Amino acid sequence: MRPDWDQYFMEMAEHAKTRSTCSRRQVGAVIVKNKRILSTGYNGAPSGTAHCLDIGCMREKLGIPSGERHELCRGLHAEQNAIIQAAYHGVSIEGATLYASLQPCVLCAKMAINAGIVKIVFKGNYPDALSMEMLKEAGIELIQFDNI
């Protein structure tokens, strides 16, 4: 059966997460406008630096729960990488939709708001109520996807 657009792009976000180098959780993101992919991202360490899969996870070693102390993580989130890749290549994402295999955290939410994202379609939940509050306050359309 032919997938609708949301399913199509969410499947791409799910596929992007297979490149993740995070040892705790794999997340993928795709930024789309007018049914065209503008950028993709997955979570992992910055280019040219050691991957957590290779050297271990500091947050895991310290017993830090999911959703806390992001500053102690070597990696960037999938949404951050997708936004950065668009900027790096000079691609405007104003008015675009972000597809993510997980609900964005508050850091990613703030970046999406300021980058001009107007809609976020996400799959899984993340323990970050402030993220959802800020996205709603900014008028971003939120759709929790449960079709895959």
Residues forming the active site? 79
Q: State the binding site for Zn(2+).
A: 77, 105, 108
What is the C-alpha to C-alpha distance for residues 117 and 140, in angstroms, rounded to an integer?
Answer: 7
Q: Residue 95 in contact with residue 118, Cβ under 8 Å?
A: yes
Partner residues linked to 36 by β-bridges? 33
The structure tokens 């929790």 sit at: 144
Nearest partner of 71 among 25, 36, 107, judged by Cα: 107
Which among 88, 116, 87, 120 has a CA at the least distance from the CA of 101? 120
- Residues forming beta bridges with residue 39, ordered by sequence position: 31
* Residue 24 · residue 59 · CB < 8 Å: yes
